[in-house]
Every structure is written in structure tokens, then in C-alpha cells.
Amino acid sequence: MCGIVGLFLKDKTLEPQLGALLSEMLITLTDRGPDSAGIAIYNSSASNQGKITIQSPSPETDFAGLEKELGAHLGKPVKIQIKSTHAVVDVATAELESARAAIVELRPNVRIMGIGEAIEIYKEVGLPADVADRFGLSGMAGTHAIGHTRMATESAVTTLGAHPFSTGPDQCLVHNGSLSNHSNIRRELIQKGMKFETENDTEVAAAYVSSKMADGLNLGQALESTLDDLDGFFNFVVGTKNGFGVVRDPISCKPAVMAETDQYVAFGSEYRALANLPGIEQARVWEPEPSTVYFWEH
Amino acid sequence: MHATNSALAVSPNLGSAPRVFDLAVTPLRELNQALHSNRQGSNETQWEVLNPKGGHAISAGVDTPISVDIRGSVGYYCAGMNQEATITVHGSAGPGVAENMMSGEVIIKGNASQYAGATGRGGLLVIEGDASSRCGISMKGIDIVVRGNVGHMSAFMAQSGHLVVLGDAGDALGDSIYEAKLFVRGSVKSLGADCIAKEMRPEHIAKLQELLDRAGITDAKPEEFTRYGSARSLYNFNIDNAAAY
């Protein structure tokens, strides 16, 4: 099963409520995915400012003193905001790569969840309501966000097996469905030098999209090529710094519904997830077509 | 039936006044239990459901000649297995609306998601917007009228009944169809295995006019439609057709 929600705001006055709106949408889809939940939320910091979301299985030890050590390593002060098992490291955009490398060196057990100028990714095992609470999702502001509730089928219920998966700077992907040729694709991607952390099929899809983009395709083209190369059932929702996109496999048996008003574009695995959005009664509500890439951008 | 829910306080059993269930305050199970407990010949013939908010299986399994108006959009399996009732969704419907309907009428004012009217054995399903994929899959006698378009694989393995589409049909219409009759006014993206366009004979014009009338559609003429049905070449296995399976 699994549930996907997405909310892309057109109306800036809704931005302070983004986390609260998404949180409600996410929790509504608990029965589609009670195993784990995750969100990617986009909130651009000041210009030339970037952020890295990190996660640790033992945050007390890994995050302790990291701010100071990382600052010393980079030769300038950094700010780290700890949110439960995750933390967001604020650094200048120019320092993102060196900061990422330094974090991996200083704290080998820390995982990089997301990196970019706007993206923050949080995911954990547990009920969506508990995951949302743990990270304070309802208090978060932003321009757009994607959420996922997971009912695991292809790999273990772990933090790293939860969605979203990062596909590159400011990019992420969530998935409802199951891929049947992920082992073959994983093998090919490993040969190309890509690294995998889980046995999860969605991680393969995310890596596939990253690899296509590294080959020079844009996101839209990379999503188009999933239709040729990935076998199985999928609804993918992807996030980028400025927008979000949706693609469904040609059979499209996994549910998807979208709603658009002057204030937002919203995605839900089911209409229930959209039912409490402001002005939903007047929204244009439709089902995305199979084999069609949709994209909204600011 | 006992007055155990708050909805009854709002709408006492006056016969003509609708019995109102507000799903914002009344659990869905109470609504469906009340619908299932309704007896043939009951005076409670008008029912109204408020705040459906995409809930699942709303008004599924109704088996008395009542009228249910659902004010908003519904989730999975609304009006499934319907017998005799007239159920109107004043919004859109999720997957499997009117699945396995036996008789009666289901009207969707908005769009319907995948497999609307699947396996339906009788009655009339009217979708005033679009229906998505697999509309009327394995239909067995139901009549379906869609004012908009239908998605891919509609009428897959359709056995009997009628599917009327005023708009366009997606890929693989009528794949492996048996004896259901399909009428499409717009374009068909592609036909499925063993589905072909067929001549509109007078009896088809008459039947289509009757279906349009029953669906309350006055702005379409039967002559504007093309009929599709089975070429009957896959009914029995023929080694020359192996590639088509």
C-alpha cells in the first residue's frame, strides 16, 4: 500500500501553515502506511545559504559537540538545529560539499538525509502522527512539501527504508508501489559507481533518477525514462527546489488524486487526504493520467 | 430500528423528511448499519449524508428502494453491491464506485476513479464527469453512462450490459470483451484485443436512446456514436491466435 501526500503552495500567505496542513494530510493516510513516515519540506534560507539534514541512530553521542568540531574543521562557525534523531546543519552554499565530507569524516555513523538550499528531510519508523510529532512538523513553514506513509513490502521497516529518498541536491522522491526489476537496475547502477544503503526498491528508483540526471537529462526527462526502464507499479512524487512533479506507471493501479486551486496544488493517494484543505470544495479535482509527467514550479 | 444516533435527533422519522447522517459527528459504521437495517416498505425513503470527506464504502450494500444523497466526495467502494437504491454522489468518487451493483441507480456528479462499475450485474451507473481507468471492467449486465471520458482498459473482459461514453476512450478499450455493447461518441485511443467497431443497427440506436434518456442526457444523439463489441475470435482457443493472448 503506502500513502503519498504533497502540497505545493501558490499563495505565500499559506506558507507558515505548510507543516500543519501537510501533517494533517499525512496522518489521514496512516492506515495506508503505519510502519514509518517521512517528509521533505522546502523552505529556502537566505541567499547563498544551504542546509544539510543529517540523521543518527545515536543522536545523543553523534550530535554532541558536532557544531563546534564542524566549525573548527571548516574554519568558520556553523549552526546545527537538532530535531530528535535528525539535525539540520546550516552552512553557506559554497561550503555544502566540504561540510558534507567533514560530517561523514567526523561522524561516520551519521547519514546524510538531504542536502541543498531549501530541502529538509525527516523520516522515522512509527505511526505517522508520532513521526510528525517527533520532528515538530506542524510548526514548520515552507513553500512545498511531500510526505509518505509506508507499508513495507520490498524491504525491512527501518529509518533508512522509509521515504523520501534524496535524489540529489534539493531533490527527493517518494514511491507508492513495488518495482519488480530493482535488483537488475541496482546491479547496473552499482557498476556505474553508485552506492546503496538498503535493499529497498525505491532507493533504486531514486538512484536511477539521480544517475539519469548525472548523465545530463533534466528531471522531466529522467522521470520519462522511468517509464521505459522501471518495471512494476509506481506512483512517484518528486520534489525539487522550486517545484514538485508526479508520474504514474502505464497501468496506474496505485491510486492518485490531485486538487488545484488559486492557493495550491495538492497530491494525495486518496481524496481523504485532501478533504480538509482550505477551499477544497471549489478545487479542480482530477486523477493524473498514466505515463504522463506532471510538474509544477514556482 | 432504535434511535441511538445523534442524526435521528436532527431528523426524526417523519417519512418524508430525509434522514440525515453527518459523518463529521456520526461514525460511518452507524450510517451503513442503519442503511442495512432498513426494511422493504419502510417509510424512510430519503437519506442524506453530509461530510463524507472521501470516506470508504459509504452506502455500500444498500438493498432497499431508497434514495441516498451524499453531499461531497467519497473514497473507495461507494455504493458497492447496490440493489434497488438510487444513490447520488454530489462530488467525485474514488476507486470501485458501484462495484458489483445489482440494480438501482448510482449517479456521480463529478469524476470517478478507477474500476467504476466493475463486475456490475445490473442497474444504471451515471458518471457526469470523467471515469478513469478500467471503467466497467468485467461488467456483467450493468449499464454505465459516462458524460466525459473513460481511461485505459475500460470494459476489459466486459461480459454483458452497456457502456456509453460521450467523450473519448483511452487505450485498449474492450480488451478481451465478450458480449457487452460499447458506444463511444468521441475518439478511441486504441482498441483492445478482439474489440472491433460494429454497425449501429436500429435496435442499437433504440437501446442507446433509451440509455441516454434514463441518464437524463438530452444533448447527444445516438447517431453520433460508434458501437464497439467483440469480434468473437478469442472465444475459443485457436493456435493461430496464440500471439493475441
Going by pLDDT thresholds of 50, 70 and 90, the confidence category of residue B116 is very high
- Residue B71 inside a domain? The answer is yes
Task: Give residue B15's pLDDT.
Answer: 52
Is residue B194 helix, strand or coil?
Answer: coil
pLDDT of residue A1: 84
Give me the mean pLDDT over the A97-126 stretch: 96
Chain B residues in contact with A252 by the CB 8 A cut-off are 114, 132-133, 151-152
User: Total domain count for chain B?
Assistant: 1
Interface mutation vs chain B, best among A1, A27, A253, A257, most B CBs within 10 Å: A257
Min Cα separation A262/chain B (Å) = 20
Q: What is the percent of chain A where pLDDT is above 90? A: 89
Mean pLDDT of B97-108: 98
Residue of B92, B132, B151 lying closest to A285 (CB–CB): B92
Count of C-beta atoms within a 10 Å radius of residue A172: 28
Q: Report if residue B135 sits inside a domain.
A: yes
Band of the pLDDT at B5, cuts 50, 70, 90? Answer: very low
CB contact under 8 A, A255 and B94: yes
Closest Cβ–Cβ partner in B54, B76, B132 for A287 = B132
CB contact under 8 A, A270 and B92: no
Query: pLDDT tens digit string along A86-107?
Result: 999 999 999 999 999 999 999 9
Q: Please report the pLDDT score of residue B123 as a whole number.
A: 98
Q: Where are the domains of chain A?
A: 3-44+125-297, 45-117
Q: What is the ipTM of this complex?
A: 0.89
Closest of A274, A284, A228 to residue B74, by C-alpha = A274
Q: Tell me: the pLDDT tens digits for A134-145?
A: 999 999 999 999
Asked, colleague to colleague, whether A3-44+125-297 and A45-117 share their fold, the answer is no
- Look at residue A194 and tell me whether its pLDDT is greater than 80: yes
CA of B15 to nearest chain A CA: how many angstroms apart? 31
Chain B contact set for A290 (CB, 8 A)? 133, 151-152
- In A180-289, DSSP assigns E strands to 232-239, 243-248, 257-260, 264-268, 284-286
Provide the pLDDT for residue A136. 97
Give the C-alpha separation, B138 to B194, whole Å. 15
- Residues A243 and A15: their CA atoms lie apart, in Å, by 14
Classify domain A3-44+125-297 at the CATH superfamily level.
Answer: Aminohydrolase, N-terminal nucleophile (Ntn) domain (3.60.20.10)
A277, A276, A240, A275: which is closest to A261 by C-alpha? A277
The answer to whether the Cβ–Cβ distance between A270 and B53 falls below 8 Å is no
For residue A219, the model assigns a pLDDT of 86
Kindly list the residues from chain A whose CB atom is less than 8 angstroms away from the CB atom of residue B128: none
List, for residues A14-68, the tens digit of each pLDDT value: 999 999 999 999 999 999 999 999 999 999 877 889 999 999 999 999 999 999 9
CATH number assigned to the domain comprising residue B68: 2.160.20.60
User: Does B192 fall in a domain?
Assistant: yes
pLDDT in tens, B224-236: 999 999 999 888 8
Instruction: For domain A45-117, give its CATH number from 3.30.360.10, 3.40.50.720, 3.30.70.3400, 3.30.470.10.
Output: 3.30.70.3400
Cβ contacts of A273-276, under 8 Å, gap ≥ 24 = A273/A3, A273/A5, A273/A25, A273/A26, A273/A28, A273/A29, A273/B54, A274/A25, A274/B54, A275/A28, A275/B53, A275/B54, A275/B72, A275/B73, A276/A24, A276/A25, A276/A28, A276/B53
Closest Cα in chain A to B93:
A271
pLDDT of residue B245: 66
Q: What is the pLDDT of residue B241?
A: 73
In a domain, B58, yes or no: yes
A2, A118, A179, A256: which is the annotated catalytic residue?
A: A2
Evaluate whether residue B28 is within a structural domain.
Answer: no
Nearest to B113 among A250, A255, A275 (CB): A255
Q: Which residue segment(s) compose the domain that B200 sits in?
A: 54-230
Question: What is the arithmetic mean of pLDDT over A112-135?
Answer: 97
Q: Is residue B82 part of a domain?
A: yes
Name which of A65-74, A209-218, B185-194, B200-209 the model is least confident about: A209-218
Segment B98-109 mean pLDDT: 98
Average pLDDT value for residue range A120-133: 97
Q: Is residue B26 in some structural domain? A: no
